[in-house]
Amino acid sequence: MAFEGVAAGAQLVRRGEVSARELVELSLARIKRLDGELNAFTAVFAERALADADRADERRARGDRAPLLGVPIAVKDEIDIAGEVTSRGTGAVMARAPADAEVVARLREAGAIVIGKTTMPELGLWPFTESLTWGVTRNPWDVERTAGGSSGGSAAAVAAGLVPMAIGADGAGSIRIPAACCGLFGLKPQSGRVPRAPHDRDGSHWICFGPLTRSVVDTALVLDAILAPSAATDAPGAFERAARARPRRLRVAVSDAFPAGTRGTLSDDVGRALRDTAGLLRSLGHEVVERDIDFRLLDVPILLGLMFHAIRDFVGEIERPQRLERRTRALARPGALVPHATVPRLLEAERRMRERLGRLFTECDVLLTPVMSRPAVPAGSMEGRGATVTYLWETSWVPFNVLWNSTGQPAASVPAGWSATGLPLAVQLVARHDDETSLLTLAAQLERERPWADRRPPVS
C-alpha cells in the first residue's frame, strides 16, 4: 500500500476500498519507523493530518470525486503552510506563515492531505540536503549517500514510501537532482506554470514548484490537479492524458557535454545510462541525433550575475542573518558586485541567449542529457568546506540543469537503470517552451519499456 502511488491511492479512496484515514495512518507510521534514519521531515502534522483525513472521508461519502482526495503528501520547507515557520533550511527564520501558499491551497482543494514539511539545505543553495539546523538527509537507496538537493527531503520521503508525492522547488536543478539521486520522476514545469504566490514576490523566473513522484502518470495527475483544483472529477486532465498516450515519432537531440567540449566528464555508469536511453528511443522509432548545446563562454557571466544577485537578495530578506551558516554568507558576497542597475541588461542578454538556445528546438522536439556526472555522492562530501570550493565542486557534478531554469523550459529527471553498486541512474529530458505534454508522453513511454517503480530501496 505504501508504494501504490498517487493515482492508485486516490482511486482506492474513491472506490471506498481504503479510507483517507487509513492512508494517513500508514504514512504517519512509516515516518515514525523510518525517518529517524533518513531525516526527510522538519515537521510532521499528525493531528491535523488525521483531522483532514476524516474530512476527506466525509467528502467522499457526499460523492466528492476530487482528483487527489485522501492522498497524503509532503511539502518542501520553502513553501508556506499556514501557521508554520517556513524555515528554508535555516534557523535564521522565525516568522510563521499567515496562510497557505497558493500551490498548497490548490492541493488541499484537490483533496490532498499535507502530512508534513521536508528538509532542504540552507536557502536551497546546494545540490545536497545538509544544514546546521536540520542535519543530514540520507538516501533510502544507501544511507551513506546524499538524497540530493535542494528538494532532498521531498525525494527521500517519496522514495522510501513515506508519502506517494511531495512538492519540491527547482531553481537550478533542485527537483531533478534529488529525483535522480533517489530513483524518482522529477519534473521542473515550464516557468510560471505552477503558481508560486506568495513566494513570487522575488520576481524570479528561474524557480518553479513541481512534484516528485514514483511514476510519470502520478506527476501528470498532480499537475492537472494544481492547475484546475476545482474540477471535482476523476476524468483525466490534459497532462494525465499525455502521460497515458503513445508518442508520435519524435526527433531527439542527445548531448553528453555541457558546455560543449567537456566530454569525458561522465562516470561509466552515467555514460552507459545516457547511451542506453538513446538506443532505446531509437529502437522505439524515434529519430536520435547528436547535438551540442549552443552555450557560449560569454553566457557564463549572464547566468552567474543573475544567480549571485538573487542569492544576495535571498540573504537580504532573512530576519536574523547572523544565524546563517558561514558558507551561505560567503556565497552571497559576490552579489554585491552586481548592482541593481545592471539587472535589466543581464535580463536582456538572457533573453537573447534563450532565443539562440531555442533554435535547437526548431530542429528537435526533445533534448536528452545527463542530470549528474555521477550517481548520488557520499553524504557529507562538502562538510566544513567553504563556499568557493563547494561551488566549484557542484559545478563538476551537476552542470546540466541550471540552464533550463534560465530559459524557463520544462525539464525532467527520468530513471534510467542502476549503477554497478545499486544506486539509481537517470537522464534528463528537456522540451521546448510550453510543451510538458511531449516530455510526459516520452517519459511515460520510457517507463513502460523499462519500469522502475516496482523496485524498493533498502530503507523502506
Amino acid at 349: A
Residues near 298 by beta carbon (within 8 Å), at least 6 away in sequence: none
User: Which distant-in-sequence residues (6+ apart) come within 8 Å of 261 by Cβ?
Assistant: none
At 411 the three-state DSSP class reads strand
- Angstrom distance (rounded) from CA 190 to CA 133: 32
Burial of 91 (0-12, 13-18, 19+ CB in 10 A): middle
The packing angle between helices 216-227 and 6-15, to 10°, is 70
Phi/psi for 4 (5° steps) reads -65, -35
The three-class DSSP label of residue 38 is helix
What does the block give as the cell for 424? 539509481
Query: Distance between CA atoms of 159 and 146, rounded to whole angstroms?
Result: 13
* DSSP-based three-state secondary structure for 44: strand
Q: Report the candidate in 67, 104, 103, 64 with the shortest Cα–Cα distance to residue 224.
A: 67
Report strand pairing: 165-170 vs 142-146: unpaired
Burial class of residue 418, CB neighbours in 10 A (0-12, 13-18, 19+): middle
Q: How far apart are CA 36 and CA 26, in angstroms?
A: 16
CA–CA dist 77, 44 (Å, integer):
12
Which residue in 412, 413, 411, 415 sits closest to 448, CA to CA? 415
Task: Determine phi and psi for 148, rounding to 5 degrees.
Answer: 85, 180
Q: Taking each helix axis as running N to C, give the angle between helix 152-159 and helix 20-38, from 0 to 180 degrees, rounded to the nearest 10.
A: 120
Residues annotated as catalytic are 76, 150, 174
CA dist list (Å): 15 to 12, 58, 65, 138: 5, 14, 10, 36
